[in-house]
A and B are shown apart, each in its own frame.
Chain A
Amino acid sequence: MLVINLIAFVAIFSALMVVFHRSPMVSVVFLIVNLVCIALFFLFLHAQFLFAIQIIVYAGAIMVLFVFVVMLLNLRKEEELLPGWRVQRALAYLGGPLLVGALWTALWRRGRSSEAFPGSFGSGFGTAEDIGQLLFNDYLFQFEAASVLLVVAMIGAVVLARRKES
Chain B
Amino acid sequence: MLSLLYLIPLLPLAGFVINGLLGKRFLPKWAISAVACGTVLLAFLLSLGAVFSLNNLDSVASVRGVLEVDPAAQRVTLTVAQWLAGGTGANGAVFTIPWGFTLDPLSAVMLLVVTGVGFLIHVYSVGYMAHEEGYWRYFAYLNLFMSMMLTLVLGSSFPVMFVGWEGVGLCSYLLIGFDYPKDSAADAGRKAFIVNRIGDMAFILAMSWIFASLGSLGFTQAMARVGKLAPSAAAGIGLLLFIGACGKSAQIPLYVWLPDAMAGPTPVSALIHAATMVTAGVYMVCRCSALYLQGPAALTVVAVVGALTALLAATMALRQNDIKKVLAYSTVSQLGYMFLAAGVGAFSAAIFHLMTHAFFKALLFLGSGSVIHAMSGEQDLRKMGGLKKFLGVTYPTFLIATLAIAGIPGLSGFFSKDEILWKALGHENRYGLGGTWFWIAGVAAAGLTTFYMFRLVFLAFFGEGRMDEETKHHIHESPKVMTIPLMVLAVLSVVGGWVGIPKSLSFGADLNRFEHFLAPVFEPAAAEEAHAAASLADGSMAGHEAGSGMGLEYLLMLATLGAVAVGFVLAYRFYRSRPEIPQRLAGRFPTLGNLLANKYYVDELYDAILVQPYWRLCDFLSAFDKKFIDGLVNAVGAFTEVCSQFIKLFQTGQVRRYALWFMLGAIALLWYLV
Instruction: Answer yes or no: A and B touching, Cβ < 8 Å.
Output: yes
Q: Which of A85, A98, A99, A105 contacts B656 (CB 8 A)?
A: A85
Q: Which of A85, A88, A95, A106 contacts B667 (CB 8 A)?
A: A95
Given contacts A85-B656, A88-B656, whether A109 and B674 have CB atoms under 8 Å apart is yes
Q: Which of B656, B657, B660, B674 contacts A102 (CB 8 A)?
A: B674
B673 CB contacts on chain A under 8 angstroms: 106
B656 CB contacts on chain A under 8 angstroms: 85, 88
Give the residue name and chain of the B residue nearest to A108 (CB): B674
Within 8 A of A (CB), among B641-661: 656-657, 660
Interface size on B, residues (CB 8 A): 11
Q: How far is the CA of A106 from the CA of B666 in the complex (A)?
A: 14
B670 near A92 with CB under 8 A, answer no
A88 CB contacts on chain B under 8 angstroms: 656-657, 660
B30 CB contacts on chain A under 8 angstroms: none
Q: How far is the CA of A92 from the CA of B666 in the complex (A)?
A: 13
Q: How far is the CA of A106 from the CA of B674 in the complex (A)?
A: 6
A102 near B664 with CB under 8 A, answer no
Q: How far is the CA of A92 from the CA of B664 in the complex (A)?
A: 9
A95 near B664 with CB under 8 A, answer yes
A102 near B671 with CB under 8 A, answer yes
B660 near A92 with CB under 8 A, answer yes
Q: How far is the CA of A92 from the CA of B671 in the complex (A)?
A: 16
Q: How far is the CA of A128 from the CA of B666 in the complex (A)?
A: 35
B674 near A92 with CB under 8 A, answer no
Interface string of A98-123 (1 = CB under 8 A from B): 11001101100100000000000000
B664 near A91 with CB under 8 A, answer yes
Interface string of A52-84 (1 = CB under 8 A from B): 000000000000000000000000000000000
Q: How far is the CA of A50 from the CA of B57 in the complex (A)?
A: 112
A95 CB contacts on chain B under 8 angstroms: 663-664, 667
A92 near B657 with CB under 8 A, answer no
Give chain B nearest CB distance to A114 CB in angstroms.
21
B670 near A106 with CB under 8 A, answer yes
Q: How far is the CA of A95 from the CA of B661 in the complex (A)?
A: 11
Give chain B nearest CB distance to A97 CB in angstroms.
10
Most buried by A among B656, B673, B674: B674
B666 CB contacts on chain A under 8 angstroms: 99
Give chain A nearest CB distance to B653 CB in angstroms.
14
A92 near B663 with CB under 8 A, answer yes
A98 CB contacts on chain B under 8 angstroms: 667, 671
Q: How far is the CA of A102 from the CA of B656 in the complex (A)?
A: 22
B667 near A102 with CB under 8 A, answer yes
Q: How far is the CA of A136 from the CA of B660 in the complex (A)?
A: 40
Give chain B nearest CB distance to A10 CB in angstroms.
26
B664 CB contacts on chain A under 8 angstroms: 91, 95
Q: How far is the CA of A88 from the CA of B671 in the complex (A)?
A: 20
Q: How far is the CA of A109 from the CA of B671 in the complex (A)?
A: 13
Give the residue name and chain of the B residue nearest to A106 (CB): B674
B657 CB contacts on chain A under 8 angstroms: 88
A102 CB contacts on chain B under 8 angstroms: 667, 670-671, 674
Give chain A nearest CB distance to B654 CB in angstroms.
9
Give chain B nearest CB distance to A133 CB in angstroms.
34
Q: How far is the CA of A22 from the CA of B673 in the complex (A)?
A: 36
Q: How far is the CA of A88 from the CA of B660 in the complex (A)?
A: 7
Q: How far is the CA of A103 from the CA of B553 in the complex (A)?
A: 113
B674 CB contacts on chain A under 8 angstroms: 102, 105-106, 109
Give the residue name and chain of the B residue nearest to A91 (CB): B660
Give chain B nearest CB distance to A109 CB in angstroms.
7
A85 CB contacts on chain B under 8 angstroms: 656
Q: How far is the CA of A19 from the CA of B673 in the complex (A)?
A: 29
**Given pairs A85-B656, A88-B656, 9 additional interface contacts (CB within 8 A):** A88-B660, A91-B660, A95-B667, A99-B663, A99-B666, A99-B670, A102-B667, A102-B674, A106-B670
Q: Measuring CB to CB, which residues of chain A are less than 8 angstroms from any residue of chain B?
A: 85, 88, 91-92, 95, 98-99, 102-103, 105-106, 109
> Would you give 19 A-B contacts (Cβ < 8 Å), ordered by A?
A88-B656, A88-B657, A91-B660, A91-B664, A92-B663, A95-B663, A95-B667, A98-B671, A99-B663, A99-B667, A99-B670, A102-B670, A102-B671, A102-B674, A103-B670, A106-B670, A106-B673, A106-B674, A109-B674
Q: Measuring CB to CB, which residues of chain B are less than 8 angstroms from any residue of chain A?
A: 656-657, 660, 663-664, 666-667, 670-671, 673-674
Nearest 5 A/B pairs, CB to CB: A102-B670, A105-B674, A106-B674, A98-B667, A102-B671
